[in-house]
Structure 1
């Protein structure tokens, strides 16, 4: 009799194991970015981050105090071997070279008055200088989608610009196809 019970127990265990334990939903787990991502623009990351958002216009609706502007201001960053910027507020504009130690705007041409922070020949250093990427909940499948990215200069934050953002299954975050960092992933089941 004991042999029959042992045999029945072995068969029951084998049956449960073959169908996954019989314990509910075995749907695959989806991984997503756990939170939004703040990327510090600094000497190590600056060139890659600016290249990733080259040509993207970031709008500060109430101006950007660190730049000395008080009305709607647009900041466009351009990457490459020698990163540059273009800033516009109303009828005034400034262009120049972009350096990193946070964001350092070296003005080479400007229509701002000589007394303004963005006048020709002036340098404006802004710290902190970050890109805030709305990555929370982005599926880690390598498929790029349009998400919000804001440029933060000091305490001023731009309106979120639409940028192509992707998260791969290993957590690599891409902006416009450029890998910029790795994000923390969390499982979502259901």
Structure 2
């Protein structure tokens, strides 16, 4: 584990402040839930809580099914990283951060069609031509997104957008059933 060189004291209420540099690096936002673990050596581990990651196997099966039916690439993401990929090399996208354009889909809670060259990941390595993206919303909170995309000139339209909406709604219902 990397040492950060930052020391914080626990206050009277048992709270500790996570330094701004670490929050920025780890993309931890105000009000975002964290999981707390204690490992065998007694170290306390804070991990960003991503509720949709509980459904990652299920999300992968759904992405595979959509890919088979449409012949288009499908990605399913939590609020800031891709957790399921089908139709594009998984090693290139799995666990990569979302591009800022796709992060905006999640935060805006609105489905969109993107009909220009854009990146799926925050590194800008995976460029695609068109995408239909729909946020996964549980209890009025956006927890991820379903992205149907094309690397070629295939135009995506209302059908792909509705399929992304349907997939997002279905995964949201599954998340609601788990809580």
TM-score normalised by structure 2 residue count: 0.29
* Rg comparison, structure with higher value: 1
Relative to its length, the structure with more helix (as a share) is 2
User: Relative CO higher for 1 or 2, CA cutoff 8 Å, sep ≥ 6?
Assistant: 1
TM-score normalised by structure 1 residue count: 0.28
